[in-house]
Structure 1
Amino acid sequence: MELVYYKGLKDEPYTTAEVIAEFSGVDLDSINRLTRTHKERLEKFGKVGFEIRAMDSGQKQKVWKYNERQATVLITYLRNTEQVLDFKDALVNAFYSMKQELDQAKLSRELNKRANIGLADTIKAELPDDPHAYSNYHQLAYKYATGMTPKQLKKAKGVNSPEEALDNDQKERLERVKQNIALFILDGNDYQDIKKKLLADI
């Protein structure tokens, strides 16, 4: 059994009465009784949630859920046996680790979101007053992906559009560089800075 859970990236981590009972060595009925007795105090830190679970007997049981501050308050009401003290330490660490994990997941999601934004949309949003921006960055992306500008590529391959001249690897490389250019623009780099960074890798 884990000490701390979460449902989604936007939700607070939580623990449950079952977890507190199992790891503190205090019976579940006592934890439930403490929750009901001090519910008003606990709800100073948010609504105390619960879920209904079916028991093996066929009856249903309410399982209380506590956010970090509610759990911290609740466990102060437990008598400080060695097991309870060990559990308090473990629960604090578990909430801290879970928050770090969630922060990293949120960061990764944001980076993925930014990386997947289209170059054209980024230019439209970030450089609305530059009529040559899309053409310049479009040519730069092709230069990085293929070593040629779109015009040079069409001439060399005898095609009507530069896309027709690309193999699968070049198509993937072109999409990646467009995403990188979009990120560079979002980070405040100008055309010359981006060109220098990209062409240095060729």
Structure 2
Amino acid sequence: MDVLLEPWPWYISGPLIALIMSFLILMGKKFGMSSNLETFCSIGGAGKFTDYFKVDVKSKRWNLLVVLGSVIGGFMGAKWLSPNPAVGISHKTVAKLKDLGFESAGTTYLPTELFSLESLSSPKVWIILLVAGFLVGFGTRYAGGCTSGHAISGLSNLQRASLIAVIGFFIGGLIMVHWLFPLIFTS
């Protein structure tokens, strides 16, 4: 049971990802989470309003199992496989986050200052979450996929567009964390 409670080393998890990606490539499937949003919109009837969502949902049902597995796996991991709720990040990062007002830094996976019912009474939190959600959705659509789709599936297929997208994701993440994040959350 201890093997489930510790992070797996790269030499186990990496080959497992490669094995799964090999099966998907051989089956002609592409992995990514953002494509499921398209499928959910199509199932919800968005095709009545725009032709973009008029897609064959049956051919994409297998990927909805990935979402279900992610939700179930995340729940199981948080509920039963995480004996210590503390997040393994550096003390320097925890100190910087606490300076920005995130007192829950290092003790929880999602900062309660943004992701709790109490925090939703703040208009600033609503604005941050709505703008962030819009930017993630726009970026995913503009890049033609999400980080998991490009970084895992696209790079496995040696797609140049995925390499460019992944480089862009990393640069954007660095800009956000080092410059924008402190601007947004400095009181």
Query: Could you state the TM-score of these two structures normalised by the residue count of structure 1?
Result: 0.21
Larger relative helix fraction:
2
Higher RCO, Cα 8 Å, sep 6+: 2
Q: Which one has a bigger Cα radius of gyration?
A: 1
Q: Which has the higher strand share?
A: 1
